[in-house]
Amino acid sequence: MKRKHFLSFCLLVPLLASCGGGGNIPITTEDYGHTLSMSGDEFKILQLTDIHWCLSTNIPRQKEYMDLLVEKTNPDFIVITGDSLFTATKNIASALYDYIDSLDIPYAVVYGNHDMQGMWSNAWMNENVVRENAALSILNDEIPGFTNWYIDIEKDGETIWQLFGIDSNSYQQDGVSYDYGYIHEEQVDWYESCVKEGVPSLGFIHIPLQEWKKAHEEDPDGIIGEMTEGNSPSSTPSAFFESAKNHNMKGIFCGHDHANDWNGLYEGVVLGYGVKCGKELYYGVSEDGYDITGAALYTIRSDKSFQIRHIYLDNDTFEFTGDVSWEDSAL
Ligand SMILES: [Fe+2]
């Protein structure tokens, strides 16, 4: 079962208000971690990305949409890879996480570049996403980004997989121009401090790394999914891919480019997009004419193998329009 690191409201607010400046409470690597159990021989992770609830969102209908995805996949864990909101209100932001928490499934979040764009403080949003079923802690630390976390997946008392969430850091300003954020060196150091050597892992981020472009140039067909728009990484390179590759990370999955659900293999690691959840803001249409909307499901197994599945659900008709999968045994 998950181990909770709950900071009380009274404790959390002053800590987050000074986030980046360091606090007086010593933070250990374990404080970033939670533990979930694999009860049988597999563990299913549902990735919801770029939900983008906004002022015009029909919330009851979008809850039904996500209900269908959850019913179809029956996940053990839900990871939300950023941009859950866009020009929303506090009420909308609360309604989204009320809904996510009501599913009674452990979940974690990495922020996208839009999650803090609203009439709320960083502290308010951090409090909003960490509900009862959250398997992440947001700590007062000096590591860039708020949503850096890991989860140990245990079976029979042994960690057999790890999951990592790494914050992509929204934007960086260069004079009057803005560029997307990236995973900083301090985050790579933090990641390396949390890795259990020899244990396979999956990583979840919002903004793709520059390696997504290289992977697509090398193999445009990839292993699953489609590219119907370009990649939009930061112009600043990150050392994260090289480190992840050297520490047994089997796949890294992002959101951000809504019209893409392409996944490819690059230097032995799967680099891929999830599937945009619903139609808010914009979405892609596949070569075969179905909407690239729905969710991605990752099944990790006790034998260290894993499967990627993309499930397409039309946001108008609520019909499942497709289902594709890839097994790492194909390597
Ligand atoms: Fe984004």
The partner residues of 308 in beta bridges, in order of sequence, read: 298, 326
- CATH, residue 49: 3.60.21.10
pLDDT-based confidence at 272, cuts 50/70/90? very high
Distance of alpha carbon 235 from alpha carbon 237, whole angstroms? 6
Residue 2 within any structural domain of the chain: no
Residue 230 within any structural domain of the chain: yes
Worst-scoring range by mean pLDDT, 24-28, 203-207, 302-306?
24-28
Query: If you search the block for the tokens 């983008």, which residue do you land on?
Result: 52
Alpha-carbon distances of 125 from 93, 129, 202, rounded to whole Å: 8, 6, 25
Worst-scoring range by mean pLDDT, 4-13, 128-137, 241-250?
4-13
Number of domains forming the structure of the chain: 1
Q: CB atoms < 10 A from the CB of 179, how many?
A: 13
Q: What is the mean pLDDT of residues 87-108?
A: 97
pLDDT at 24: 66
**Cα-to-centroid distance, 13 and ligand 1 (Å):** 26
pLDDT-based confidence at 331, cuts 50/70/90? low
State how far Cα 97 lies from the chain centre. 15
Residue 4 within any structural domain of the chain: no
Alpha-carbon distances of 35 from 163, 198, 202, rounded to whole Å: 10, 17, 15
Nearest by Cα to 223 from 283, 264, 182? 264
**Cα-to-centroid distance, 41 and ligand 1 (Å):** 34
For the chain, percent of residues with pLDDT exceeding 70: 92
For the chain, percent of residues with pLDDT exceeding 90: 89
Nearest by Cα to 73 from 304, 296, 324, 272? 296
Quick: pLDDT tens for 273-296.
999 999 999 999 999 999 999 999
Residue 3 within any structural domain of the chain: no
How is residue 236 written in tokens? 């600043």
326: left (phi over 0), alpha (psi -120 to 50) or beta: beta
**Cα-to-centroid distance, 232 and ligand 1 (Å):** 9
pLDDT at 165: 98
**Cα-to-centroid distance, 148 and ligand 1 (Å):** 17
**Cα-to-centroid distance, 249 and ligand 1 (Å):** 23
Q: What is the mean pLDDT of residues 60-83?
A: 98
Environment class of 237 (CB within 10 Å of its CB; exposed 0-12, middle 13-18, buried 19+): middle
pLDDT at 173: 81
Residue 1 within any structural domain of the chain: no
Residues 150, 193: contact at Cβ < 8 Å? no
**Cα-to-centroid distance, 82 and ligand 1 (Å):** 7
Residue 323 within any structural domain of the chain: yes
Q: What is the mean pLDDT of residues 259-285?
A: 98
| pLDDT exceeds cutoff 70 at 156 | yes
Helix (H, G, I), strand (E, B) or coil at 178: strand
Q: What is the mean pLDDT of residues 305-325?
A: 97
What range defines the domain where residue 95 resides? Answer: 9-330
pLDDT-based confidence at 264, cuts 50/70/90? very high
Residue 222 within any structural domain of the chain: yes
| pLDDT exceeds cutoff 60 at 181 | yes
**Cα-to-centroid distance, 314 and ligand 1 (Å):** 21
**Cα-to-centroid distance, 159 and ligand 1 (Å):** 32
How is residue 215 written in tokens? 């992977």
Residue 225 within any structural domain of the chain: yes
| pLDDT exceeds cutoff 90 at 316 | yes
